[in-house]
Structure 1
């Protein structure tokens, strides 16, 4: 029997549960749990994703992205071009296409902004159709000052010193291939910590106004150490999630559209929003071999 289609009022109830259970501070953005502006878009998003073979339960989680503004900070340092024979650039394009393909269902204009570690010029309103052009224009040069550029290009303009008040909470993705270079140790964690501290003392916003997701492209061991340390941080971990460093990012290719595609994309886009997704760092755990001894085949009785 086919599942009934999602309606706006039903999805509004699911948004209310999400806020109550996962991000109670979002009530500041949506007083009295009023999601009228986003309920229909979220409900439509669920059905579109299900039509694309996304499991319904996962599609309903993706649809909470209708409540968030998404910005991405991309690593355009030199190593992205010359390491791994150019494979890192190709993987970056696949990841961006997969993210945009889902997020443009949550926000018609697409990803709010894509900023770069080294290039001072970013791009706004990026949809899947824009990714190829954006990717072709990237000039890889410079170092990986992740903490400094996160502060200057994301936290200040969108959270700490916005030109207009925040209307929605901000989900920030940082996609990098290497360890931090060109800045003092600890700048990244300090800037995230200070942002949360200021929000915690804000009369109109709360710490739930932001969430962060980190992903590594390539196999740089220093980047592996950095991402694992962020993921395991006792104080900041509730607002930060990291795609497991051994995740099969190849599976994110939208041409596959299989279950592994949705599992990786769910971790990448929702790990900073859902506690259970945050804690699920074993999406590729394999079953151990098990052969029972002395047991015959099961039979019906």
Structure 2
């Protein structure tokens, strides 16, 4: 009754725990778990409370129905349904499991038939709902939407819809420059990058030629401010940035200067807008300094890439800000670093030790930069943690890093933040079979798709192919990062 009415709080739950109590037991009358009951009734706070107290997001109620299925079924506001589905997904819920009692309708199908809500349909698709799954009548979600003649829902089912792209933008655009190999060896070596740059810049140069520099800068600042505020609102970052935030004003002012400067590396308006969004995030670079990094040119490749990442990440942020740098083994670290400072530190650290990447991620990055700041709401900016490693964890278990990333999302939710306030990007140097398997397992983990993107190609190849040309390497870092549209990244 408390779960159904929304009156269940921590004190009542603690009282229930004083007697024999199973948080996942089924109500003998309804056949529902507590979590399913709260999900059905749209009790967002109760759902969050139960998950925080170890209620299972995968426990089935009578009829083999999941809490997500009941969230899709219940009558509630769109915002409550969306938040409940988001919470359940974060805690490992299966959003595709159908209900045999209901002609094998999936949660996606249930939302289409009962509520015709394109916002929730879009959310489920972005979370990985299977649009091609069939119910007992051999109907897919798309067939049901067509039968309902709801064009908004049909568009929401399309993974290439404009809204889909804006969701992927959160991660993909934020890592616009980071360690991402898409252009082939021959493309880099033959100078195709420069041709791509020139073709992208040409239209913007012609368009801007007729405007005065000062007028152009003022107009650009207005446009960039509007664009940035929309991005902040759409991606739920308003707790960090207000419209009149001096930090935002600095970003926009410097971005406008970049655009009007004919000598700037960033001449494309699209590139500068992406740079603005990237600069909202505090960049944290976590480097591998284990013994195996002494093989080949791995250490040099890491140094060159990290230097370029830092240069791009600090182009338009305030002078007092910079990149955070940490190593798996070395106690050397740095805060507020720029590219020249970071290069000196990278050069001084010598490879030695094991690859306890998950354990030290917690102790050196997540605890001091995130967890210690949660209680008092001291997080100033969202974080993007870029992890570089040449192999799989050793001797630490392979699940430690995965669990650390999962737990980070849960701790953020428990503290009142969104789980995607801290994003992770994992890149590989080297080509060992074990490291590829480790990366593939992380990339295929659906619970991590909200917050983790993996680059599985060896980064040292990019440095070799850049032929020791630092300017070309910087262009490669920036231009070659746009992944395929069909990449599954969810928000």
Verify same fold: TM over 0.5: yes
* In 2, Cα distance between equivalents of 1:66 and 1:46: 14
Q: Which runs of 5 or more structure 2 residues have no equivalent in the other structure?
A: 1-205, 209-215
Distance 1:11 1:177, change over 3 A: same
Label 1:94 to 1:237 Cα distance change in 2 as closer, same or farther (>3 A).
same
1:221, distance to aligned residue in structure 2 (A):
2.5
Q: Indicate if the aligned counterparts of 1:228 and 1:245 stay in contact, CA closer than 8 A.
A: no
Contact 2:398–2:438 (CA<8 Å) still a contact in 1?
A: no
| Aligned CA distance change for structure 1 residues 263 and 242 (closer, same or farther; 3 Å) | farther
- Tell me how far apart the structure 2 counterparts of residues 185 and 79 of structure 1 sit (CA, whole Å): 17
Residue 153 of structure 1 corresponds to which residue in structure 2?
A: 364
Task: Summarize deviations over 1:69-108 as a string: whole Å, max 9, x none.
Answer: 1111110001111x12xx1111111101111111112432
2:345 corresponds to which residue? 134
- Structure 1 residues 188 and 127: CA distance shift in structure 2, 3 A: same
Match of 1:88 among 298, 312, 334: 298
Equivalent residue for 1:249?
A: 462
Whether 1:217 and 2:429 are equivalent positions in the alignment is yes
Asked if 1 retains the 8 angstrom alpha-carbon contact of 2:266 and 2:272, the reply is: no
Q: Give me the whole-angstrom Cα distance separating, in 1, the residues matched to 2:292 and 2:420.
A: 34
State TM-score, norm by structure 1: 0.78
Any conservation in 2 of the 1:212–1:239 contact (CA below 8 Å)? yes
For residue 256 of structure 1, give the secondary structure of its aligned residue in structure 2: helix
Aligned-residue Cα RMSD (Å) equals 2.8
Per the TM alignment, residue 176 of structure 1 is displaced from its structure 2 partner at its CA by: 0.8
- Compared with structure 1, are the counterparts of its residues 258 and 112 closer, same or farther at alpha carbon in structure 2 (3 Å cutoff)? closer
Bigger strand fraction: 1
**Shift in alpha-carbon separation, 1:166–1:153, aligned structure 2, 3 A:** same
Distance 1:228 1:46 in 2: 40
| 2:308 equivalent among 90, 98, 111 | 98
Q: After the TM superposition, which of the residue ranges 41-50 and 129-138 deviates more from structure 2?
A: 41-50
1:158-187 deviations in Å (ceiling 9; x for gaps)? 111139711111111111111111212311
TM score, norm. by length of structure 2: 0.49
Identify the residue that residue 48 of structure 1 maps to in structure 2: 258
Using the TM superposition, give the Cα deviation of residue 35 of structure 1 relative to its aligned residue in structure 2, in angstroms: 4.4
Q: Using the alignment, how far apart are the partners of 2:475 and 2:250 within structure 1? A: 26
Q: Deviations over 1:106-149 (max 9, x none)?
A: 43245332111001231222211113311221121001111101
CA displacement 1:31-58 (0-9 Å, x = unmatched): 5x55453134245236537821553312
CA pair 53-40 structure 1, distance change in 2 beyond 3 A: closer
TM-superposed CA distance for 1:257, in Å, is: 5.9
1:190-229 aligned at under 5 Å gives the runs 190-203=403-416, 205-229=417-441
Q: Distance in 1 between matches of 2:256 and 2:454?
A: 25
1:16 deviates by 2.1
Residues 70 and 53 of structure 1: CA distance in aligned 2, closer, same or farther (over 3 Å): closer
Q: Is 1:29 aligned to 2:240, yes or no? A: yes
Q: How many Å separate the matches in 1 of 2:474 and 2:325?
A: 27
Structure 2 CA distance, aligned partners of 1:8 and 1:157?
A: 35
Q: Which has the higher contact order (CA 8 A, sep 6+)?
A: 1
